[in-house]
Amino acid sequence: MTKSTAAGAGSGPVRRFASVRRLSARRTAAVAGAAVLAGTAAVCAPGVAVAAPRAAASAAPTTDFRDCPPLPAGADPARWRCEVHSAAPVLTIGKVTVRLAPITMTHAEGPLPDGGDGQVWGAMHSTPTAVPGVRGLAIQPEYGGRSDFYTGTFSLRFRLLGRRLAPGCTIGATAPVDFRLKRSGPSTWVSQDPPLIEFSAYDDTFAAPAAERCGPLAPLVNHRLGLPATEGNLMTYDASYTFKTYDRLPRIPAR
């Protein structure tokens, strides 16, 4: 804010009133600026436990099959397998790039009695990750309700966590973000017994909607993250997966 100059000795009442009015306007602008800064600080305030950005490129594989879903009626357990998939995605969305904490997805796939290809969703697990450059703001991916592991498509929502954000603050709250992954190269069999396969993929075509349900700080959050963003977004996806056929798993009760 620039300094104001005092009125000259010959200034009349009108000029002095104009000077006072300019000072009042400047004070109002200063107060408004402070309010914006306070709002930004509220978004970035400490109070959320988050994972620090990681330097590792790939997720550690897991052999936990507890999230395997029940099979469809009539499915052959020897021909259906439960896959446990671990990934360490790097997400560029809007103006920020985040190396997400590892996520785990579990699903089942195999032939249906009518000869078609079947899939059953199991579960997804994730933890929050700090958003670089935005103190106290974290992002956590959540399953968006759609997946097709034959084609590499799935949907995610991204919950935003901050001390003064509304609990439901989410990118993709109304409609989740849809990803269609393309392989970066061939898969690699790391181990045959137990099976462990690694692969890399990416998607640079998805659109990122604005964050919603964030309360009064939503405009500040979206401005800081550069949302909505219809282009320039990227997810790179280094992953591994393992599997077991259902005849080698403990009996899974129907849900």
Domain borders along the chain are 81-248
pLDDT tens-digit series, residues 184-209: 999 999 999 999 999 999 999 999 99
Nearest to 156 by CA among 137, 169, 175: 175
The share of the chain scoring above pLDDT 90, in percent, equals 72
Per-residue pLDDT, 43: 54
CB 198 within 8 A of CB 190: yes
**Confidence class of residue 252 from pLDDT cuts 50, 70 and 90?**
confident
pLDDT band, residue 251 (cuts 50/70/90):
confident
- The letter for the amino acid at 82 is C
**pLDDT tens digits for 221-230?**
999 999 999 9
pLDDT value, residue 250: 86
Per-residue pLDDT, 255 = 56
Measured N-to-C along each axis, helices 13-44 and 218-225 cross at an angle, to the nearest 10 degrees, of 80
Q: In sequence order, what are the residues at sequence separation of 6 or more whose Cβ sits closer than 8 angstroms to the Cβ of residue 208?
A: 93, 94, 171, 177, 227, 228, 229, 230, 233
CB atoms within 10 A of CB 255: 5
Query: In this prediction, what percent of the chain has a pLDDT beyond 70?
Result: 74
Q: State pLDDT tens for residues 112-153.
A: 999 999 999 999 999 999 999 998 999 999 999 999 999 999
Q: Is 125 exposed, middle or buried (0-12, 13-18, 19+ CB in 10 A)?
A: middle
